[in-house]
Structure 1
Amino acid sequence: MKVVLLGATGKVGAPVREELLARGHDVTAVVRDATRLPAETAAFRHRPGDVFDDAFLTDALAGAQVVVCSVALRDAAQRGRIPVELIRGVARVSAAIGARLVALGGAGSLRTATGEDLVDTAGFPAAARPESLGFREALHGLIDDAPPELVWTVVSPPMSIEVDGPRTGSYRVADDTLITDDRGDSRISAADLAVAVVDEVESPRHPRRRFTVGY
């Protein structure tokens, strides 16, 4: 399958990249800095550029069957950019070329046991709040305004993504409710989050809706 991966060097994007390649997909990695990527091969290409540039994005996504958007907006080069602006642009181009969109969203829009969204709870970290609110707006924008021809899915992670955690290939799935384990922890390894993302790429089970994963 021809997959264009936006944000292929991040905490989630890098494991998604490796999972896609391990399963034999044809991957184009769209990044700002291609020096952080492994060498190109026949099945793996680099496309350095700015995902907020419409002309670049249109060219980079050409030929994709699936677009995976895993762009983090936390570092100095991206700080202040708006998640809804990013998702809206990627959705528009994906719809125009007939590609499915699988986008990573934040955990902040997931419902807690109290019925509140996580981002609205008292203990939610203030530093993460702007990005989480932006991803919640982006999710609502897809639900309300996505082009009818676009098949999209948003994958919301749990509260904690364990960068060095093992790849077990096992995870639980929910729609809009934060998943916690027996100890009340909401977590998954980055490798298993990547498994869940690529499972959705290969076998779409959540068209035009959001789902979340966790242990």
Structure 2
Amino acid sequence: MRITVFGAAGAVGSRVVTEALSRGHHVTAVVRDPSRYQPAPTAAAHPDTAHPDTAATPAATLGVGDANDPADAARLIADHDLVITAVRPPPGHEADLVTTTQTLLSAAHHAATRILLVGGAATLTVPGSGATMVLDDPAHLPAAYRPIALACAAQLQACRASAADWTYLSPAAQLLPGARTGAYRLGADELLLDADGTSAISMEDLAVALLDEAEHPRHRRTRFTVAY
């Protein structure tokens, strides 16, 4: 597939680029500032997911543009099979996430291109809580993360109001750099907890889940979640 990744310089976006390339996809890695983009080192493709003709990870094509600019979004999505966005605004500008999402949803819809969005866990319900959302549960959401959680909740609403062919991935409550195991559990609207009551997944395995969904769609026009 030809995949455009917005937010390619970010912690999650860079791992999505690496995972997509390792599977033999052609990736346009979109950033606003080219100086921030540091491609991952060339490495052997993952044997369980790689294209049979792919011996090593190729390089991404660098795309420079602003995801908030409709013209840039349309230009960078054109002639691609899939859009993935892992954009995150800086602290203090969390509300920009909704504007960016609406711009990309509109551009993807007009291009008739499917869009996968890396969202947040805010609107997942906590098991055994009487439908309390993560957004309102301090055990899973520290106060410092509430502004971006609110923005992610509004982001999901923007998806549900859109005519685009979208899929929204809510990560586990804890999303940190780690190992690529290739293992994860799938869920829908409820936070996934392990036997110890922890909800976690590595950014690397989030990228695995996202590319699995890209290659084998199971959640079109809906939200899903992943965790260990």
Shorter-chain TM-score above 0.5: yes
1:183 aligns with 2:196: yes
Displacement, 1:81?
A: 4.2
Q: 1:193 to 1:80 in 2, by over 3 A?
A: closer
Superposition pairs for residues 138-149 of structure 1, below 5 Å? 138-143=155-160, 145-147=161-163
Q: 1:188 to 1:42 in 2, by over 3 A?
A: closer
Which runs of 5 or more structure 2 residues have no equivalent in the other structure? 41-56
Query: Deviation per CA, 1:163-199, whole angstroms, max 9, x where unpaired?
Result: 0x21110100100111111111110111110000000
Displacement, 1:162?
A: 2.4
Counterpart of 1:15? 15
- The answer to whether the 8 Å contact 1:82/1:131 transfers is no
**Counterparts of 1:122 and 1:154 in 2: how far apart (Å)?**
23
**Counterparts of 1:125 and 1:162 in 2: how far apart (Å)?**
15
TM-score by length of 2: 0.86
1:129 aligns with 2:130: no
SS at match of 1:213: strand
**Counterparts of 1:50 and 1:214 in 2: how far apart (Å)?**
31
Identity %: 38
Query: Deviation per CA, 1:110-162, whole angstroms, max 9, x where unpaired?
Result: 1102111101124432221121111111212222x211xx2110000011112
Displacement, 1:70?
A: 0.3
**Counterparts of 1:23 and 1:92 in 2: how far apart (Å)?**
28
Displacement, 1:74?
A: 2.8
- The answer to whether the 8 Å contact 1:172/1:213 transfers is yes
Query: Deviation per CA, 1:44-68, whole angstroms, max 9, x where unpaired?
Result: 2111222111111111111111000
Equivalent residues, number: 208
Displacement, 1:43?
A: 5.8
2:84 maps to which of 68, 73, 84: 68
Q: 1:159 to 1:60 in 2, by over 3 A?
A: same
1:209 aligns with 2:225: no
Displacement, 1:207?
A: 0.5
Flag as ranges the 4+ runs of structure 1 deviating above 3 A: none
Counterpart of 1:37? 38
Which runs of 5 or more structure 1 residues have no equivalent in the other structure? none
